[in-house]
Every structure is written in C-alpha cells, then in structure tokens.
Amino acid sequence: MHPVATALVRALGDLRQPRIMVLILIPPLAAFAVWGALVWTYAGDWARWVSDWVAGASWLAWVGSLGLSWVFIWASTIVAVALLLPVMLITALVVTELVAMPVIVPWVGKRHFPRLEPRRGGTVAGSLANAAAAIAVFVVLWLITLPLWLTGIGALLAPLLLAAHFNQRMFRYDALAEHATAAEYASIVARARGRFFGLGVLLGALYWVPFVNLAVPVLGALAFTHLCLGELAQLRDRIEDRGLRIED
C-alpha cells in the first residue's frame, strides 16, 4: 500500500481510541466559537459598510441607478466567507498543534513505532517559527488567490490546494520534532515533499464533507504523524543497512 494511504488508514483506525476521541471536537469547536462570535457581532456592519461604500462612491453611481447594488452585496458575502474560512482553518490547526499534537505524537510513536529512537531534534522555538512561517505563507497565498473565489472552478481548487500546503507545513515539524534530528528532518522533507502534499490534498478534500470535516484537524495530525514517523523509520533502516547515520 502507498505510504500516504497507509498513514490515512491507520489514522482513521486511531480515531476510535478513547483518548483520541476526546480530542476530536476541541479544534473545530474552538474555531466555531471564536469566529462564530465575531461573525454574529460584525456581519451586519460588514453588509452596511459595503452598501455605504457603493452608495458613496461616485464612480459606482451608475450601479445604484441601474438597481444593481445587490451585485456588490452578493460579492461582499462571498468575500466575507472567503476571508472567514482561512481564519477558521488557521484557528483549528493552531489549536490542534497546541492541544492534540503533544498527545498524538508520543502515543503514535509508542503504539505503532516502538523501536523508533527519539532523538529530539526539534525545539519549541522551531515549532513556533514553523507555525508562524506556515501561517504567513498561507495568508499571503490566500489573499493573492482571492479573486478566484468569484470564478467557478477556482473557488474549489484554490482553497483545496492552499489547505493541502498549509496542512503539511503545519504538521510535519511537530510530527518529527520528538523523534528526528534536525538533519533527519531536512532529509525527510526533501525526499517526501510530494507525499506530504498528496496527503494534504486528501485531507483538504475532506474539509468539504459536512460533519466529517469536524474530525479533519485531528485526523490530519494523526495521518501526518504516521506518515512522518514511517518515513523516518525507512530512512534509518536504509542508513543502518549502509552502516551510516545522519548526524546533526
């Protein structure tokens, strides 16, 4: 079985474990609570701001005279949704990083990779830097591709590909921080980049499935931990066969 499929199947099996089930709803509920409250508070202000902007812009006077102000209201709704989705995703994944990964990584390591030696090449500072870089790149790319939301296929493909990239950037560091050295981490990222992105695409597609998407942040954490630790185990096996070791 392909490593990506193996990681996803094992992650799905792990979701049934009691300690994992406790974690599943924490990230999405945190995201919904924070951003749902903001939408409830400011949705009316956003609509009024767009309406006032259309009414007050002299170069858009013809829009109001033709009775087409609704076009801007419709477009503003799409933009509002397009801006809300990424911040909800960021919130859910950050909460997953903070709450779920410290539980998932050692649990998966002991349960599925008991012979994998922890070499602790990652640091808290490295984790924070990785998360900050991943979020910054994700936000910039999302804003750049925002016009695609007003098209057909672009509204589906752009969020999927960006979510795929963001998922793998967020999870791969923490998945390997406890077990891999810095050199092993760099080697794995270089050789498994395509597999990481492929798993990110599969997980990104699940965000569009109602109710299933609630479990995707924790499922993603599990799947990337399985994939990363599997890649690390294979790397060490190959190194040991050659009588070598990747050092810091």
One-character DSSP codes across 82-111: HHHHHHHHHHHHHHIIIIIHHHHHHHHHHH
Q: Is 199 exposed, middle or buried (0-12, 13-18, 19+ CB in 10 A)?
A: buried
Which residue did the predictor score with more confidence, 92 or 66?
92
Among 44-48, 92-96, 106-110, 192-196, which is the least confidently predicted range? 44-48
Q: What pLDDT sits at residue 14?
A: 95
Q: Summarize pLDDT for 145-204 with one digit per residue, the tens.
A: 877 876 767 778 888 999 999 999 999 999 999 999 999 999 999 999 999 999 999 999
97-138 pLDDT, tens per residue? 999 999 999 999 999 999 999 999 999 999 999 999 999 999
Greatest distance between any 2 Cα atoms in the chain? 79
